[in-house]
């Protein structure tokens, strides 16, 4: 079934998009509580070592290797049931952590299993909701819709860690995950209320050979497209060294290396949310004022260079925290501008029958390296120290994406291409 027609001028009148938006917002809020709580639990409750923190980061991101398979799934079945049941599954899994803690059974092994499964269902949700979006929204509203989705993700990025940090003063870290579990259940209800009927995709051969061919079709489309390929390459480098390597030892660096109180860690992460709100609010305006390629290149350059404030943090605690917060604000703002522009470009030029596989291919090429980066950073930090490890991964992870975009046709792209035929 084709997306709604352009007569539905504003997405504020698109009730089904608003339900998807509400579900995504609730789910993202809970996720950012989890992103805060999991490393805090590992460090403060289970006394994890740098190597063990690397394993936590690895397992959380390891399911990303299944992005390609989930992309095929998203193109072959109805998407709404997947969104509902992945939310329900994550709610149940998260509730197991405080239950184990109350029963004095919580161990790193228990945390490893739950973290991996949460990552698995989160990966499935992410691919599906991105490919479900063009079904509910006409191409003329892609930019507006992506801006709205990123704005609420930014709000969640701000409020989630902030609320978690405040709650941490009165409740134990494992109990924080109950907030996330409730948010996933609310998200499932919101998506279940979407009324637009979704036709079942045409039956297709599901042999291993056909699945492999379907996956490969999406990957080849991404890697052969002159505008999408540099985005995938730069995302892969950023994923390996920043999302994977840097983030896996970030909590350890802030709490143990710098000696910042654990309760302040959420406030530092909230700085990224503040920046992301600013970026999401500015994204449409920036896109309409500057060239598409220029927005993608310079948002990457400014945001990545701000990362160097992290290993540079020194002096009294207030100065260290200030430098970390500034880095979070700048990277959060530029990341949202980049993401809204990037997502709109991909959704615009991708044929409908490839939406799930292209989203999955881009996420896979951009995020599959993250588990390896997380595992490698833990080993590197254990061998040479946390701060030297941060210097190494940030230097490579910040500069390679800038170069990949600067030396590609994408940097010269003036305006959004014509939409693919739908």
- In CATH, the number for domain 11-195+205-412 is 1.20.1250.20
Do 39 and 56 touch, CB atoms closer than 8 A?
Answer: yes
**The pLDDT value given to residue 328:** 93
The pLDDT tens digits for 399-408 are: 999 999 999 9
Integer Cα distance of 158 and 152 in angstroms: 10
What percent of the chain is modeled with pLDDT above 90? 23
The Cα–Cα gap between 299 and 311 comes to 21
pLDDT on residue 420: 59
Q: Is 382 helix (H, G, I), strand (E, B) or coil?
A: helix
Top-confidence residue, 55 or 306:
306
Find out whether 352 and 420 touch, Cβ atoms under 8 Å: yes
pLDDT tens across 144-176, in order?
A: 888 888 787 777 766 776 777 777 777 777 888
User: Rounded to whole angstroms, how far apart are CA atoms 20 and 158?
Assistant: 20
Q: Can you give the pLDDT at residue 366?
A: 67
Average pLDDT, integer, range 314-343: 91
> What mean pLDDT comes out for the span 239-261?
89
More confident call, 391 vs 339: 391
Give pLDDT, residue 325. 94
Angstrom distances, CA of residue 215 to CA of 130, 219, 226, 384, 419: 17, 6, 19, 40, 23
Helices (H), 202-354: 208-224, 229-238, 247-252, 262-289, 292-306, 309-312, 317-349
Q: What local confidence, expressed as pLDDT, does residue 421 receive? A: 59
* Locus of tokens 């995020």: 367
Neighbours of 412 (CB within 10 A): 11
Domain ranges within the chain, ordered by starting residue:
11-195+205-412
Q: What is the mean pLDDT of residues 360-373?
A: 74
For 219-243, the pLDDT digits (tens) are: 788 888 888 889 888 988 998 899 8
* Dihedrals phi, psi of 193, to nearest 5 degrees: -85, -5
DSSP state of 207: S
Per-residue model confidence (pLDDT) at position 393: 93
pLDDT of residue 58: 80
pTM: 0.67
pLDDT at 283 over 80: yes
Stated as kind and residue range, the H or E segment containing 117 is helix 108-136
3-state SS string for 296-323: HHHHHHHHHHHCCHHHHCCCCHHHHHHH
Task: Tell me: pLDDT of 304 over 90.
Answer: yes
What per-residue confidence (pLDDT) applies to 394? 94
Q: Which region, left, alpha or beta, applies to residue 153 given φ > 0 means left and ψ of -120 to 50 means alpha?
A: alpha
**CB of 229 closer than 8 Å to CB of 223:** yes
* pLDDT band per the 50, 70, 90 thresholds, residue 7: very low
Q: What is the pLDDT of residues 89-111, one digit of tens each?
A: 999 999 999 999 988 888 999 89
Cα 411 from Cα 405, distance rounded (Å): 6
């Amino acid at each position: 079934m084709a997306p709604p027609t352009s007569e539905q001028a504003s997405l504020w009148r698109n009730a089904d998009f608003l339900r998807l938006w509400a579900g995504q917002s609730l789910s993202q809020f809970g996720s950012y509580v989890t992103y805060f709580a999991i490393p805090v639990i590992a460090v403060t409750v289970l006394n994890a070592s740098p190597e063990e923190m690397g394993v936590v980061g690895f397992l959380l991101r390891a399911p990303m290797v299944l992005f390609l398979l989930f992309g095929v799934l998203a193109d072959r079945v109805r998407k709404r049931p997947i969104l509902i049941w992945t939310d329900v599954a994550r709610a149940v899994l998260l509730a197991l952590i405080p239950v184990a803690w109350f029963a004095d059974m919580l161990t790193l092994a228990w945390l490893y299993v739950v973290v991996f499964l949460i990552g698995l269902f989160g990966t499935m949700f992410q691919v599906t909701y991105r490919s479900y979006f063009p079904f509910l929204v006409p191409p003329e509203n892609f930019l507006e819709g992506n801006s709205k989705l990123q704005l609420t993700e930014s709000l969640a990025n701000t409020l989630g860690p902030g609320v978690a940090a405040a709650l941490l003063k009165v409740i134990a870290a494992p109990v924080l995950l109950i907030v996330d579990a409730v948010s996933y259940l609310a998200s499932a209800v919101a998506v279940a209320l979407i009324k637009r009927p979704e036709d079942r995709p045409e039956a297709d051969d599901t042999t291993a050979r056909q699945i492999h061919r379907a996956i490969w079709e999406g990957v080849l489309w991404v890697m052969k497209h002159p505008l999408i390929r540099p985005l995938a390459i730069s995302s892969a480098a950023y994923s390996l060294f920043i999302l994977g390597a840097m983030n896996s030892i970030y909590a350890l660096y802030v709490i143990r290396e710098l000696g910042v109180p654990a309760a302040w860690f959420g406030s530092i992460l909230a700085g990224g949310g503040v920046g992301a709100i600013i970026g999401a609010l500015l994204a449409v305006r920036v896109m309409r004022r500057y060239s598409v390629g220029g927005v993608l290149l310079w948002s990457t350059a400014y945001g990545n260079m701000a990362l160097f404030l992290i290993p540079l943090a020194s002096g009294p605690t207030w100065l260290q925290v200030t430098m970390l917060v500034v880095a979070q604000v700048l990277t959060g703002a530029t990341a949202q501008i980049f993401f809204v522009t990037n997502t709109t470009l991909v959704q615009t030029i991708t044929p409908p029958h490839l939406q799930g596989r292209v989203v999955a291919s881009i996420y896979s090429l951009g995020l599959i390296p993250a588990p390896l980066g997380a595992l490698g950073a833990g080993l590197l930090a254990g061998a040479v120290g946390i701060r030297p490890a941060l210097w190494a991964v940030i230097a490579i992870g910040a500069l390679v994406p800038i170069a990949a975009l600067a030396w590609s046709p994408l940097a010269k792209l003036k305006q959004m291409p014509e939409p693919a035929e739908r």
